[in-house]
Structure 1
């Protein structure tokens, strides 16, 4: 299959979701070119080398148009996945707003222009549920076609702008564009990369409990948490879709659970006996950052299921078991 499958070029390939997607495509025997300013983690190099597909890792900045164009010209991909992003918290918004838009918007428009000039057939732009913003404060599901986009931070604003710009350029340049709004991901390869300011709440809680520290939650933190292996499968399903019926799809779990549920499940696992977690009492400080002062409404995935056949595989227990096994494997590699 590796000899006949199209070449897929992935920006942000050394990042959290980028690595998960690369791993998923390589496991299918495909040829992938990864582009990232950061190097691959050592554990990722070994994991990817063991898979049947062919992977080329390139170091480069998505804001460097000349280098990016040269890489496209050499590798001639048929498909481009734009995953590179700066996921900014308020401190970065105050300190370096230009950098957020340089990566999340300007680099997207550059990639679209260069993709067209280099004969790329399909572009998949990874957007975010953060584009829904204040609409997520309501009780109903968030739908791609009729829920208003009301982003509240520069990350969500930049994602909304990138979607609109990409759609305009796709029309002008004749590109086959799909946009996937990712839900809140957690799981393997999530780590501190310098461009993702707040780790997922499930990872924050897991890190604390693994280190023997107490976890205090400000509230249960209920959300449609998306295990990153399902996120990768959803991206791949959209990338493969022959003729998507709509321009934008939610890529989400389709079910909810809470970080309180997660902590309770972890405490039932070997090695976590007696772990200390609770909802913080009045006046007690929480030590898991919940992103916002509300739990965002879930993202509908009816269209994704209908048009791609995607079915999420990882509920809380299955995700937890897989994540703990993966962490154990990484620990063993580090001490080998």
Structure 2
């Protein structure tokens, strides 16, 4: 089985590629940046075959030529700019060109060469302001999509656009709304403006710095290996009952809980919730704790079962870093 992945050098792209290669599949990775050397070494040790292509995900001709050459049967679109407010002000059109135009270009190329199946990587950010009401889980059909930032607005727009184009071309499409990820391969890639709070804390803990949290910040943190497993599960299903699926953890914990785990591992690591006069040094991006995403649909329609609660994720991340 050959899968074409756009945004393959990004955080989730690398994790999904690793998962598919571990299953013995061929992955054609397409990204504006070449994969990191560490990723290439890790991929080379896996049973699958990886082909890294460098190109602009908005370039429909380059995408079509690449797919015609490698003949994938499946496509996953993950290329995106995860923008903060500064980037929104500076380059709003580019955000939409990549997040919407890139997905449409990949879909059109896939349709032109006969790709059979597509999973579009969307985001829990499409729920936006609905997540402020932390009394009900975010549901694919019942929760209004009220994105607040351009990233979320562009992801919602991309969902609607690829759904329309897939219907026009008769292409099998599933949308995976990915929750807030952390874990192996996360890094400042130049298009990911705010790193996850767990990674921010971990980096300070490893440097022996004191962490000052704005608040405990409880939410359904998604370990990226679970995200990759869920996307692979969606990709493997030839027919699904629904178009959109939440890709999330299914359980909650707080950044304060994460700090406690790291304090037990890193001797001398100190942390606290901000007191009067303190300046927090961990960026939560939003000023509220978003409601969790309901994954009942994902659990019912695929074989996916989340494996990484707080303890399992922290232990696996530590092993990965040491390797």
**TM tier, smaller:** over 0.9
Instruction: Verify: 1:298 aligned to 2:298, yes or no.
Output: no
**Structure 1 residue aligned with 2:53:** 58
**Structure 2 residue aligned with 1:252:** 248
After TM superposition, the structure 1 = structure 2 runs for residues 18-167 of structure 1, keeping only pairs within 5 Å, are: 18-138=13-133, 139-167=135-163
- Structure 2: how far apart are the matches of 1:109 and 1:13? 17
TM-score, normalization: structure 1?
A: 0.95
Shift of 1:282: 2.0
CA contact (8 A) 2:245 2:297 kept: yes
Shift of 1:196: 0.4
After TM superposition, the structure 1 = structure 2 runs for residues 9-24 of structure 1, keeping only pairs within 5 Å, are: 9-24=4-19
CA contact (8 A) 2:72 2:115 kept: yes
**Structure 1 residue aligned with 2:259:** 263
Per-residue CA distance 1:268-312 (angstroms, 9 max, x = gap):
11xx11211000102311000001000000000000000002110
CA contact (8 A) 2:59 2:105 kept: no
Instruction: Verify: 1:277 aligned to 2:277, yes or no.
Output: no
Which segment drifts farther, 178-187 or 236-245?
Answer: 236-245
Instruction: Verify: 1:176 aligned to 2:210, yes or no.
Output: no
**Structure 2 residue aligned with 1:3:** none
Per-residue CA distance 1:171-219 (angstroms, 9 max, x = gap):
1111100000000000000001000000000000000111111100000
**Structure 2 residue aligned with 1:319:** 313
- Structure 1: how far apart are the matches of 2:215 and 2:73? 46
Over aligned residue pairs, what C-alpha RMSD do you find? Answer: 0.7
Instruction: Verify: 1:229 aligned to 2:222, yes or no.
Output: no
Q: What SS does the aligned partner of 1:267 have?
A: helix
Shift of 1:242: 2.7
2:3 counterpart (8, 24, 33): 8
Shift of 1:258: 0.4
Per-residue CA distance 1:128-151 (angstroms, 9 max, x = gap):
000000000012100001100000
Runs of 4+ in 1 over 6 A off after TM superposition: none
Instruction: Verify: 1:206 aligned to 2:202, yes or no.
Output: yes
Q: What SS does the aligned partner of 1:285 have?
A: coil
- Structure 2: how far apart are the matches of 1:264 and 1:242? 42
- Structure 2: how far apart are the matches of 1:13 and 1:250? 21
- Structure 2: how far apart are the matches of 1:53 and 1:309? 22
- Structure 2's unaligned 5+ residue stretches are none
- Structure 1's unaligned 5+ residue stretches are 1-5, 330-336
- Structure 1: how far apart are the matches of 2:210 and 2:73? 49
Shift of 1:39: 1.2
